[in-house]
Every structure is written in structure tokens, then in C-alpha cells.
Amino acid sequence: MEKHSTEQLKSICSQVRRDILRMVHACQSGHPGASLGCTEFFVALYFDQMKHNKNFNPDGIGEDLFFLSNGHISPVWYSVLSRSGYFDTKELATFRKINSRLQGHPATEEGLPGIRVASGSLGQGLSVAIGAALTKKMNGDKQTVYALMGDGEQQEGQIWEAAMCAPHHNVDNLIASIDVNGQQIDGPTKEIMNLRDLKAKWEAFGWEVIVTKNGNEITDVVQSLEKAKSLLGKGKPVLNLLHTDMGFGVDFMVGTHKWHGVAPNDEQLENALGQLEETLGDY
């Protein structure tokens, strides 16, 4: 995999954010808030950290795998997949449209390269990632499995069943991350269902936990993922608490749940795009 400089990664992030906004605006549907907040994480994974192959093979033998549990943030994933060569960026214009391969929540029936499992029914992604990681261990495949969850998703019971399972089976080739933005569809997580001390919770379940204090700074994200990789192979799965700001990159969207699942209108789109440099060319 080709490595990119910090400036190149930042440049990709700017373009990905433009893609997210234009995709959601075009169909007047989708989830821009957390997609914008997780941009650095996805760019770090696909352009710096993961060993992956744009010539997509669903089995992923000999390469790192990624599973998105909170599938509603599909816009950021689709953008990064296309920008890293999985499919033509022009296809981003079909997001959430009839007969599109780019469904609102990622699905496998359409055969979109890069998607290994349907997701977005919250709580399920970590279980899938654990199964994939166990399979790699059984097959002697030394590559890593990554997963991303939302913080509101931590209110799902299946998450905690999976959290017990992975340490019990010594799944030490797995790095799971939680997007800790403090927001969910109905409001702040503290008000909807207080998560309290996630670090203590996951450690109590037997995970090695690291914290990314600024998940919207690309160098911090890269360093945290590298630290997470250094902790693998020691009998424990690794959890990365990724602190981000929902809507990051657009001043009127940042830090509020109100843009969790709302598309910008024409004027808002123009305003938002004016804050983000076009670096790789709009689709």
C-alpha cells in the first residue's frame, strides 16, 4: 500500500468532506454529521494503515479487513472507497438513488466493491468483526481486522455480548474503534442514555483500551492506530476510543446532533463547500 504524507492525507480529507456533502445534498437524504466527524479515521485507515486491495475479493485473504457497524455513515465510507480506487468516483452521484449500488446503509446484494457485510442495524458489526478475526486466526492469516461503532450504539445489548466474547477467545488481531462524538439522533448521549466511563467499562470486559483525544487531527489518528497495532498479538483485543466532533469541517454543523440525519439545502451546501478546498476534483 502506498503511504501518504500528512499534507496529502489532509488534502484527501478535504475532498472526502466535499463528497459527503454533495452526496447527501443531491438526494436530500443521508447522515452527514458523523460522516464528517469520522473522515480522518477513514482516510487514515485506507490511505495509511490498512493493507488492502482495490481489486476486491470478499474473502480478504492476506489483507486487513474493515467492518462498519454504524452503517448510516456510509457517505464517508463510499467516498474513501472510491477515492482509493475501488470504483469510479462518478458513481458517488448515484448515492441513495433507485437501482444504485450506493444504498443509504451498505449492503452486499448490489455487489459494491469493498463491502463485505450489510450493516446499519445497530449493534451487529462488532460480532461480525470478531467472527472474521477468529477466522483469520484459525487460517493462520496474520492480518488485522478493524471495526468502527458509534457511541450511541453502545446502548445496544449485542455490543456487550460481543465485548465479552472477544477477550474470552483471545481475539488479539482485532482493533475496534468507537466514534465518541457525544451525539445521537435524538440528542446528546448523556441525555438519551448516559454512557459514563466507556474506558473503564471496556477494560472491565477484558479489552486493551487506548484513547485518541483528537480524532479530527490526522496525525493523532495515525499515531493511535499505530499504537493499537503495537498492542496486538498479546492475548487481548484492542479498543480505540476515538473522540471526534460531529459535523467537523463545517462551522454550522459542528458539535450538534441536528445534522445527524439532515441534508443541507442549496444555500447551506454552497456555504459548506466554501469552507472545504477542492483538492482531488469533484465527481
- Per-residue pLDDT of 87-136, as tens digits, reads 999 999 999 999 999 999 999 999 999 999 999 999 999 999 999 999 99
pLDDT band at 3 (very low <50, low <70, confident <90, very high): confident
- As a whole number of angstroms, the distance between CA 152 and CA 149 comes to 9
- As a whole number of angstroms, the distance between CA 32 and CA 70 comes to 13
Give, as one character, the DSSP assignment of residue 144. -
Domains, in order of start, for the chain: 6-273 (3.40.50.970)
Residue 281: name the closest of 83, 63, 80, 45 by CA.
83
The least confident of 1-5, 75-79, 231-235 is: 1-5
The dihedral built from the CA positions of residue 75, 78, 79 and 80, taken in this order, carries a sign that is positive
- As a whole number of angstroms, the distance between CA 241 and CA 111 comes to 31
Contact 153, 70 (CB under 8 A): yes
14-32-186 Cα angle (round to 5):
145
Contact 212, 240 (CB under 8 A): yes
Residue range 247-272, pLDDT digits in tens: 999 999 999 999 999 999 999 999 99
Expressed in angstroms, the distance from the first to the final Cα of the chain is: 24
- Give the pLDDT confidence score for residue 2 in this predicted structure: 73
- The fraction of the chain above a pLDDT of 70, given in percent, is 100
Summary mean pLDDT of the chain: 97
H or E element: which one contains 183? strand 183-184
Q: pTM of the full predicted structure?
A: 0.98
